[in-house]
Chains A and B, each alone.
Chain A
Amino acid sequence: MAIEQITMPQLGESVTEGTISTWLVDVGDKVNKYDPLAEVLTDKVNAEVPSSYTGIIKELIVNEGETVAVGEVICKIETVQASTKDASPEEVKNGELEEVTTNDLSMKKRYSPAVLRLAQDHNIDLTNVDGTGRAGRITRKDIESIMKQGVRATSSASPDTSTTTKEIIPQQNTEKKASPVVHTGDIEIPVTGIRKVIANNMVKSKQEIPHAWMTVEVDVTDLVTCRNQVKEEFKQKEGFSITYFAFFVKAVATALKEYPAINSTWAGDKIIQRKDINLSIAVATDNELFVPVIKLADEKSIKGIAKEINELATKARAHKLSGQDIQGGTFTVNNTGSFGSVHSMGIINHPQAAILQVESIVKRPVIINNMFAARDMVNLCLSLDHRILDGLVCGRFLARVKEILENMNKDTINIY
């Protein structure tokens, strides 16, 4: 014995419901398979619905005149046979869709035209962006969300149009960190203009270039003596001071000529050795840092170099440096000694290969021929791009700079 259900059949394509107009059976009636049970009215046809089973009518569920959807139970029949399930047309194996998580980043560097365009238009370095697309692909939305964050970070900034360098949206790495809490009395200084350019250049340089360092100690006693002798006369004659720094720049330019490897640039799949020796020099103002360039420094006299340093520094302090003045540097010499520093580790001026820090000249006791002597000593600290340069060539280069400087005396120096 089993209770079977009769449902409202679909009478016609596009028909979704039917109305029981008359029941042709009563509860308790015995029916044979295919005997008519009810008259049904639909939009398309009037029809008799037959029984699918032989048995006794147990229950009429839908009243005459009532409309029900196709598939709803209209009556129940008690059958003699055990219940058998019809082969269902819906028995389709559903391949479970598994959510597969992998660390596949094969699409990380496949940029769509839309992503590339946005990245270019907004100076976004795609190598630092994490993609949310499949296999790490950076989606247009990823870039758009970075742009939104970038706008918020600079929302209080005044428009900066005077710089020759393009403004760069901060990298997303720093943005993802929570902002530091600001306490009462703290001063918030918006990061704009030159400061932002400096910040970004430093980040780029530090993140991209594997830095290495070395320092040599140079005895410049003779150089100091010589310079002190000509200092007053030079100032009177030329109208500007002759600084130690000019001598150092000259020495570095001369050594670079002999070690062109140091005077080069990293270009991804190749290293470019520069023919010209254009030395960037760092000039600081209160809260800014400029690196104007002394072009073809190796071809200039000490006086010429001194003159150019003077001019560039004046221009920098007056904010009058032109694009020409700051472009094309191939190596940087940084006069950290002017602040009294005796040792420092400079950040390379991207995309150059190295930077040299010229520290303070300090009178120190030094042992010469097993006797103490008071000597003018200076530390030269070199930071190098280890992708381009190794310790050997840098060591030789520094030794050469040291040699040139230590041999500078009144007999050898030709200021003009």
Chain B
Amino acid sequence: MAVMTYIQAITTALREEMIRDEKVFILGEDVGKKGGVFRATDGLYDTFGEDRVLDTPLSESAIAGVGIGAAMYGMRPIAEMQFADFILPAVNQIISEAAKLRYRSNNDWNAPITIRAPYGGGVHGALYHSQSIESIFANQPGLKIVMPSTPYDAKGLLKAAIRDNDPVLFFEHKRAYRLLKGEVPEEDYVLPIGKADVKREGTDITVITYGLCVHFALQAAEKLAEEGISTHILDLRTVYPLDKDAIIEAAKKTGKVLLITEDNLEGSIIGEVAAIIAENCLFDLDAPIKRLAGPDVPAMPYAPTMEKFFMVNPEKCEKAMRDLAEF
């Protein structure tokens, strides 16, 4: 098994799927010759040519809309949004078109498109290169939103997204790209979309989170273990639709639940997770459901002091986790 970075796992998945299925192609800004501003499509242009690794005009709605059209025809487009922050011009195409296509046509048409976008902060990206934008799409039945936390999950879930017959938004944490390394099997494998994954077994408190925050929680759990606090960590992996059974099971396991997201607190994914737990776990809860998230300000500021203040980090996780354990 090879050890690779998160972004290498992404590139590997793209390459393998393009070899496996000729209908798969990539379109986006700078994805061709440059290989992407983060180099996620590095080398693919050389292998597959400009027909299948398409540099598009700088117009996000067209990237999404053209992708949807090609998908309706039967292709398997992978559209890249250069930054998740810039997906907003494409929201009409994603929500009015991709999400509703199967439903509005009574199952006649479908759009098997994957839209990839790097999200997340802690990279000095300021307001418009740091955002978590998943909650914009997380009440749109018809869409699936995948946010993997490890190289292994990234490869298996990206392959699943490309093969999925419905539109999938695939958000990759840009700080994870080169920060996270892990073992990734060389052979072909897919992981199920819509299934959460237990990343650590524990008995005192349950942490439910996704994306880079999974690692913050794992680091904090390691420290707390030295104090005798045992942490159970559930990685949502798919933030829409949510894996309700896994959430309920994880919440019931310890009865003390901390939900973590790097997004702004209000209206975030974890609010829905809290609602699921509140509806289903009243008699298993041993403490109020707690949330750790970014503050309710428009986005992450540039200056390091303010950026650090906004970002979730292992220390903030540790404090919130200890606090809950002591309740």
Contact = CB atoms under 8 A, between A and B. Distances in A.
- The short answer to whether A and B are in direct contact, CB under 8 Å, is yes
Contacts of A113: 282, 285
Interface of A: 110, 112-113
B327 interface: no
A269 to B, nearest CB: 20
Contacts of B285: 113
Contacts of B283: 110, 112
Contacts of B282: 112-113
A201 to B, nearest CB: 31
Interface string B264-290: 000000000000000000110100000
Nearest to B288: A113
A113 B282 CA distance: 8
A110 B283 CA distance: 7
Interface in B275-327: 282-283, 285
A108 to B, nearest CB: 12
A56 B158 CA distance: 69
Q: Which bucket holds chain B's interface residue count?
A: under 10
The 5 closest A-B pairs by CB, nearest first: A110-B283, A112-B282, A112-B283, A113-B285, A113-B282
5 contacts: A110-B283, A112-B282, A112-B283, A113-B282, A113-B285
A112 B283 CA distance: 7
A194 to B, nearest CB: 38
A294 B282 CA distance: 47
A112 B278 CA distance: 12
Interface of A is mostly: loop
A110 B282 CA distance: 10
Nearest to A110: B283
A342 B283 CA distance: 53
Interface in B40-79: none
A317 B78 CA distance: 91
A40 to B, nearest CB: 32
B109 to A, nearest CB: 26
Contacts of A112: 282-283
Nearest to B286: A113
A113 B284 CA distance: 10
Contacts of A110: 283
A317 B282 CA distance: 51
A110 B281 CA distance: 12
A234 to B, nearest CB: 60
B175 to A, nearest CB: 39
A62 to B, nearest CB: 39
Nearest to B285: A113
A113 B278 CA distance: 13
A112 B282 CA distance: 7
A248 B75 CA distance: 98
B283 to A, nearest CB: 5
Nearest to A107: B283
B154 to A, nearest CB: 40
B284 to A, nearest CB: 10
A42 to B, nearest CB: 29
A307 to B, nearest CB: 49
Nearest to A111: B283
A304 B283 CA distance: 54
A115 to B, nearest CB: 11
B286 to A, nearest CB: 10
A38 B282 CA distance: 61
A56 B65 CA distance: 56
A113 B255 CA distance: 13
A231 B282 CA distance: 68
B90 to A, nearest CB: 29
A112 B285 CA distance: 10
B257 to A, nearest CB: 14
A150 B34 CA distance: 79
Interface in B185-239: none
B9 to A, nearest CB: 44
B325 to A, nearest CB: 19
A261 B90 CA distance: 79
A20 to B, nearest CB: 38
A113 to B, nearest CB: 8
A56 B282 CA distance: 67
Nearest to B283: A110
A373 to B, nearest CB: 69
B285 to A, nearest CB: 8
Nearest to B282: A112
A367 B172 CA distance: 101
A79 to B, nearest CB: 36
Nearest to A112: B282
Nearest to A109: B283
A46 B285 CA distance: 61
B290 to A, nearest CB: 15
A325 B285 CA distance: 41
A110 B285 CA distance: 12
